[in-house]
Structure 1
């Protein structure tokens, strides 16, 4: 089925034309119960989607679009373990990592749920040993610092969660993250650590990621002469991977290898052993609470009717804006310092999933798919890019995220924070009319001509849509529910837009080209490279050569000066 040929698709195209000339102020004025009707109260948070440019006609047709796209059968197939990631012939079973898959589901002969539970038990035992001081380096000193070496999903998720749950830290072991192959990041962290008490987690699904393995080799070199290579790898290294054979070939012992599976996408893997840094930072019980919160959202997604289903509603409004209304970007704006990494995490989760232009039937999509995701902490954004949100010709839908309870005990701060959250979504929705601006300027003492000259610059059109997610409290459980909410939103978007959300061939292309170019930086034939790449490499080679000659000359001069003065 071509989704663009459905009645609901054509109806939504027509409604989009009408909605461009509709203002949110009028929608609220015409329906006093709008905020109540277009909101959902879930156990962990309130979702207010009333400030979206939708009316009952749009709402009904979006729900019909979801049904015509077979969102419910696709959802059921995912939870049943069907191979819905068809370009890679794999199921999509990250909900199994938090206990949301039936016990009878199997993959490659393994009972998925039982296998997951067995690995979770291994994680629990490892974390307990670490917290009890029973895990030591090769000199017998207990581990005090853990460095996670990973990139993409192998670091963004765990780091985001640890930052969000700093209030819930347990134990005395500090967790650090290195993702960049730029040695400056690794060097900066290592200079603050003691080799005798440092443990490295090498987190890589394939255990072939060049950036991660390069950092692992450098970490091994930093440990230096504490012990033999074999002993260093056995006492100071742990692997988290879906390719345990490669981890063993690297030299990591089997009991120090924690497994996840190829049916877990990297950007959905924080619930697996990839979340080991989280379990270390907040304790295994905190990690379990995170999983339970996600499982709660899994149940809601599976059981709630579409019209009361939070991930479905968020997905449909996203499709409405990006595909029908022509708004290609979406901002994520947390009003909680602890969630400062959430925009970056969701950027990867959504854009790597739905940044596609090929439909499931192998044809070019004739419509816009997933939006560009961006954002940062709301308060910081207010003094940076909110000017663009308020008065630019572009319309950027946004998600405002906050919590009722503060994560600290400082008086007055949280009330100011929440007041700003509520005010900004209100201002984006309502705007300020020319008449209101003129009245304000007159009240300030400007005459009619002065007011008329200044007024155009102070008018805010408003009509900028947003969702608000207001958590009761940011804790492991509610954070798990929040992240799972977005995961299922991404899934529904992909189903409605008829794209495969769980492959990432664009990422693989760049990796392959980098591997081929790396040997050519030093020397080699560039005749098959494009002119720009050739020029860049030639400039690199020339600059390196000039720098090397200058360093040699400086060393020679220094040696001559030392000989003369001596």
Structure 2
């Protein structure tokens, strides 16, 4: 089925044209109960989606679009392990990592529930030993610092979660992250650490990621003075991977190789053993609470009717704006310092999933798919790019995310923070009309000429849509629910747009080209390269050779 030929798609195309000439002020004025009707109160947070450019007719047709796209059947296939990732021929089972889905589900002849429970128990035992000081380095000193070596989903999820749950840290073990193959990051991290008390966790799904293994080998060299290679790998390394044999070939002891599976996508893997750094930072019980929060959102996604289903509604709104209204970007604006990494995390999760132009039928998509995701902490953004949000010709829908409970005990701060969040969403919605600007300037005593000259610059059109997610308290359970909310939103977008959300061929292309170009930075024939790449490599070689010669003569 071509989704663009459905009745709801054609209706929404027509409604989008009409809605371009409708203002949010009108929608609220015409419906005193709008905020109540277009909001959902879930156990961990309130989702207010009333400040969106939709009316009841749009809402009904969006729900019908979800039905015509067969979202409910695709959702059931997701949770029951049907291989919905057809381009890679495997199921998508990150929900099973938090205990959701069919209890007796099996994959590759193995009980998924048993495999997950076994690995979680291994994780728990390792974390307890680490917190109890029973894990020691080569010299007998207990491990005090853990450095996670990973990239993409193998680092961004765990690091975001740890930053978000700083107030829930347990134990005396510090967790650090190195993702960049630029040696500066590893060097800076190691500069403040003691080799005798440092453990490295090598996180790589394939255990062949160039950046991660390069960092691992450099970390091993840093430890060299302590002991021989085998002893260093035995006492100072652990691994998290879907390829345990490769980790053991590298030299890491089998009992320190923690497994996740091929059916877990990297950007959805924080729930697996990839979350080992999270369990170390906040304790295993905190990690379990994170999983439980996500499982709660899984149940909501599975059981709530479409019109009250938070992930489904957020996915529909994203499709409405990007595909029908022509708004190609979406801003994520957390008003909570703990969530400062959330925009980057969601940027990867959504853009790596739905940044596609080929439909499930193998045809080129005739419509826009996923939006550009960007953003940062709200208060910082107000003094950076909010000018663009308020007065640029471009319309950028946004998610405002804040917490009722402050993550600190400083009086007065949180009220200022929350007032700013509410004010910004209100200002984006309402704007300031020319008449209001003129009245304000006249009240200030400006003469007619001054008012006429200044007024156009102070007009804000408003009508900028947004969601607001107001979390009761940002704890492990609530964070798990929030992340899962966005995961399922992404899934809904992909189903409606008829794309495969769980492959990443665009990432693989760049990796292959980099591997071929790396040796050419030193030497080799460049005639097969395009003119730009060849010139850049020639320049790189020339400058590097000149620098080396200058250092030698100097």
TM-score of the superposed pair, with normalisation by structure 1: 0.98
> Residue 440 of structure 1 corresponds to which residue in structure 2?
440
Separation of aligned partners in 1, 2:497 and 2:489: 12
> Residue 251 of structure 2 corresponds to which residue in structure 1?
251
Quote how far apart the aligned CAs of 1:103 are.
Answer: 1.9
The question of 1:221 aligning with 2:221 is answered yes
> Residue 326 of structure 2 corresponds to which residue in structure 1?
326
> Residue 51 of structure 2 corresponds to which residue in structure 1?
51
> Residue 516 of structure 1 corresponds to which residue in structure 2?
516
Aligned ranges 1:190-229 → 2 under 5 Å: 190-229=190-229
> Residue 459 of structure 1 corresponds to which residue in structure 2?
459
Aligned ranges 1:276-295 → 2 under 5 Å: 276-295=276-295
SS in 2 for 1:508: helix
SS in 2 for 1:252: coil
Separation of aligned partners in 1, 2:103 and 2:463: 48
Quote how far apart the aligned CAs of 1:29 are.
Answer: 0.1
> Residue 495 of structure 2 corresponds to which residue in structure 1?
495
> Residue 449 of structure 1 corresponds to which residue in structure 2?
449
Separation of aligned partners in 1, 2:498 and 2:467: 24
Quote how far apart the aligned CAs of 1:364 are.
Answer: 0.2
The question of 1:471 aligning with 2:464 is answered no
Separation of aligned partners in 2, 1:117 and 1:468: 35
Separation of aligned partners in 2, 1:213 and 1:477: 33
Q: CA RMSD in A?
A: 0.4
The question of 1:315 aligning with 2:308 is answered no
Quote how far apart the aligned CAs of 1:452 are.
Answer: 1.2
Unaligned runs of 5+ in 1: 555-566
SS in 2 for 1:317: helix
Separation of aligned partners in 1, 2:272 and 2:27: 44
Runs of 4+ in structure 1 over 3 Å off: none
Quote how far apart the aligned CAs of 1:448 are.
Answer: 1.5
Quote how far apart the aligned CAs of 1:101 are.
Answer: 2.1
> Residue 178 of structure 2 corresponds to which residue in structure 1?
178
> Residue 69 of structure 1 corresponds to which residue in structure 2?
69
The question of 1:339 aligning with 2:335 is answered no
> Residue 34 of structure 1 corresponds to which residue in structure 2?
34
> Residue 564 of structure 1 corresponds to which residue in structure 2?
none
Aligned ranges 1:131-142 → 2 under 5 Å: 131-142=131-142
Question: Contact conserved, 1:331 with 1:399, CA < 8 A, in 2?
Answer: yes
Unaligned runs of 5+ in 2: none
> Residue 423 of structure 2 corresponds to which residue in structure 1?
423
> Residue 166 of structure 1 corresponds to which residue in structure 2?
166
Separation of aligned partners in 2, 1:11 and 1:210: 49
Could you give the per-residue CA deviations for residues 115-154 of structure 1, whole angstroms, max 9, x where no partner exists?
1000000000000000000000011100000000000000
> Residue 299 of structure 2 corresponds to which residue in structure 1?
299
> Residue 124 of structure 1 corresponds to which residue in structure 2?
124
Question: Contact conserved, 1:200 with 1:237, CA < 8 A, in 2?
Answer: yes
Separation of aligned partners in 2, 1:413 and 1:237: 42
Question: Contact conserved, 1:103 with 1:114, CA < 8 A, in 2?
Answer: no
The question of 1:24 aligning with 2:49 is answered no
Separation of aligned partners in 2, 1:386 and 1:416: 17
Question: Contact conserved, 1:101 with 1:113, CA < 8 A, in 2?
Answer: no
The question of 1:144 aligning with 2:144 is answered yes
TM-score of the superposed pair, with normalisation by structure 2: 1.00
Separation of aligned partners in 1, 2:338 and 2:149: 22
Separation of aligned partners in 2, 1:552 and 1:154: 40
Separation of aligned partners in 2, 1:141 and 1:202: 21
Separation of aligned partners in 1, 2:80 and 2:545: 59
Could you give the per-residue CA deviations for residues 427-484 of structure 1, whole angstroms, max 9, x where no partner exists?
0000000000000000000011211110000000000000000000000000000000
> Residue 390 of structure 2 corresponds to which residue in structure 1?
390
SS in 1 for 2:113: helix
SS in 2 for 1:147: strand
Aligned ranges 1:516-535 → 2 under 5 Å: 516-535=516-535
Separation of aligned partners in 1, 2:239 and 2:214: 14
Could you give the per-residue CA deviations for residues 50-100 of structure 1, whole angstroms, max 9, x where no partner exists?
000000010000000000000000000010110000000000000000000
Separation of aligned partners in 1, 2:140 and 2:273: 26
Separation of aligned partners in 2, 1:210 and 1:453: 59
Deviates more, 1:257-266 or 1:444-453: 444-453
SS in 2 for 1:360: coil
Separation of aligned partners in 1, 2:217 and 2:113: 35
Deviates more, 1:468-477 or 1:543-552: 543-552
